[in-house]
A and B are shown apart, each in its own frame.
Chain A
Amino acid sequence: MSTAGAPLLEAEGLTLRFGAIPALEEVALSIWPGEVVAIVGESGSGKTTLLRVLSGLVRPERGTVRYHGADGAVRDVHGMAESRRRLLHRTEWGFVHQNPRDGLRMGVSAGGNVGERLMAVGARHYGSIRAEAAAWLRRVEIDPARMDEVPTRFSGGMQQRLQIARTLVTRPRLVFMDEPTGGLDVSVQARLLDMLRGLVADLDLAVLIVTHDIAAARLLAHRMLVMRHGRVVEQGLTDRVLDDPQHPYTQLLVSSVLAA
């Protein structure tokens, strides 16, 4: 957490409408190395759209997203060639989808799901790819004895942990997560959260995480953004936003949570 240096990602003036619906209105944000930033807000407030625009999957009508690459170059995410954006998604970035089916290849074995990402960044030696895949399965508490099974046979929580292993195996610098604990049972959510907290700290990741779980945001995030109707209505240090909320919507959000 150095206060010098440059942000990894900087966005300004992001605006996008779907018909009459303002999905994003003049959104600005930045994220710095090692920072965990939570994006909270009611359903339909534009959180998923924001992640997709930031990661270059969807183009905004207006606004810019700049990424400071590991090579030191600053690039416009929506101005770069599609091939470079794909390369970023394979190497320096990771994306954990709410539904593990969107991030996994369901017809490929668990080990293959993890190993494939390594091969995409140039790993060639079968034995070491398999060994690293097994190590990552262990790290996300999946028995490596099950590495040859396809994820359709796994529980929802296991699938999500597999998606996380697949995403982190290439050591991305910046990870986008969209409600990673969303569809899971409460007890499974807790375990996944513990795991994410450990991984984020160990790997010193920068994470932009969308969640509607205020308690999870309090535990994981250094900083928080509150969205409503496509706008960021409040942002700041997580504990300040939650303990001294300024915006009427944030006050409502906080008051509806028990002792977050």
Chain B
Amino acid sequence: MRYAIRTEGLSKSFTLHLQGGVTLPVLHDVELAVAPGECVALAGPSGAGKSTLMRCLYGNYGAGKGRILLRHGETEIDLAAADARVMRAVRRDTLGYVSQFLRVIPRVATLDIVAEPLLARGVALEAARDRATSLLARLNLPAKLHGLPPATFSGGEQQRVNLARGFAPRYPVLLLDEPTASLDAANRAVVIGLVEEAKRAGTAIIGIFHDAEVRERVADRLFEVHPIPAAA
């Protein structure tokens, strides 16, 4: 299979030094491969490690063991070994992530938050703002909010800002952590549309979808993340 992103023997544990150095194993030998245009839904009970896997892929958590191979332009990169500067370039050009909760940049207007990843890629200001505006409108965020910082927005409004920011650049690989958790049916339908469109454009998508209806509509297959049984 031609893949966009793939893991080999990816393992991850946390050592909690403030809790007497206890170690929590979370991921063990994860082998996941996703092709361009494919959407894979991570499945597994709460606490199984779905978000942890996604954060490892994004480089937000360090991989403990194994490799994370990504097609980045004409090259293949092992993200598990990539340094911070390479990771930044990967995040700018190839890999997008819609986290569960928007981490707001204080005092920056919604429109600028959404346009920012486009500007970082060299898109002209006006074109970036146009794309940001149309995505926010498509996600039914009232125009009167576009000029305001999202810090005071409702959970659902913040989630839509986060989605607009994640979909704006058309990354080749996109990670979505519970993107519809606080959305109503109309906005869930918008997200389904955005995912289907991205897939047609060749984006590889890895998602965590708590909503079975959304999952069935967008996911081509499930990938089970197994909780590691507590050590005896």
Contact = CB atoms under 8 A, between A and B. Distances in A.
Q: Are A and B genuine complex partners?
A: yes
Interface of A: 1-3, 32, 35, 190, 194, 219, 222-223, 236-237, 239-240, 243-244, 246-248, 251-252, 255
B84 to A, nearest CB: 4
B226 to A, nearest CB: 21
Contact of A244 (B60, B86, B92): B60
Interface residue SS majority, chain A: mixed
Nearest to B84: A237
Nearest to B116: A201
B87 A237 contact: yes
Interface string B172-215: 00000000000000000000000000000000000000000000
B89 A3 contact: yes
Given A1-B85, A190-B106, A251-B16, 6 more contacts: A3-B86, A3-B89, A190-B107, A236-B62, A248-B18, A251-B18
Contact of B55 (A190, A194, A243, A247): A243
B105 interface: yes
Interface string B11-47: 0001111100000000000000000000000000000
A223 B62 contact: no
Task: Return the 10 tightest CB-CB contacts between A and B, nearest first.
Answer: A248-B17, A244-B61, A237-B84, A223-B84, A251-B17, A3-B89, A239-B60, A236-B84, A3-B85, A3-B86
A222 B84 contact: yes
A28 to B, nearest CB: 13
Interface of B: 14-18, 55, 59-62, 84-89, 92, 105-107
B107 A243 contact: no
A238 B86 CA distance: 13
Contact of A35 (B14, B59, B85): B85
A251 B59 CA distance: 18
A223 B84 CA distance: 7
22 contacts: A1-B85, A1-B92, A2-B89, A3-B89, A32-B85, A190-B106, A194-B107, A222-B88, A236-B84, A237-B59, A237-B88, A240-B61, A240-B62, A240-B84, A243-B55, A243-B61, A244-B14, A244-B61, A246-B15, A247-B17, A251-B18, A252-B17
